[in-house]
Structure 1
């Protein structure tokens, strides 16, 4: 299961960027260490166009864990 911010379209996973309805190809996995325990993994889905922006947004704050293809997500991600 993917977190509440992940939206499902009839044809699959949708990018988490505001107002984007494109199919997600990647998952930006992150955690805010001041709010989340070390085992917590938050996920923003990203289309090709928004992947770098979403990755940069969390990376500059020191929250980025990894960026993986959506197919690599597991039950631990959410």
Structure 2
């Protein structure tokens, strides 16, 4: 079974999906309205293979707010 090497330090964010070590290309912004203020955003990083999984997971729970590309001019949000 092939397992890609873990990204070296400084290579950028990796996918937040458990067990995935692929480079992140998307950020999924979410908040839990029961514990976060409306303007607060948490972020999960995602590779292209898992972005749909994250969106479905967050939408099913009423937590999803926005999916944005993860680019140099739009780094992973941490508000």
Whether TM-score is above 0.5 comes out as: yes
Q: By percentage of residues, which structure has more strand? A: 1
1:69 maps to what in 2?
A: 69
| TM-score for the superposition, normalised by structure 1 | 0.80
Instruction: Indicate the residue corresponding to 1:22 in structure 2.
Output: 22
Residues 43, 60 of structure 1: alpha-carbon distance in 2 compared, 3 angstrom cutoff: same
Q: What is aligned with 1:47?
A: 47
- Gaps of at least 5 residues in structure 1 are 1-7
Aligned to 2:3: none
Give me the whole-angstrom Cα distance separating, in 2, the residues matched to 1:17 and 1:59: 16
User: RCO greater where, 1 or 2, for CA within 8 Å and sep 6 or more?
Assistant: 1
Provide TM-score, normalisation by structure 2.
Answer: 0.79
Structure number, greater radius of gyration:
2
Structure 1: 4+ residue segments shifted above 4 A? none
* C-alpha RMSD of matched pairs (Å): 1.6
Runs of 5+ consecutive residues of structure 2 not aligned to the other structure: 1-6
Aligned pairs, number: 69
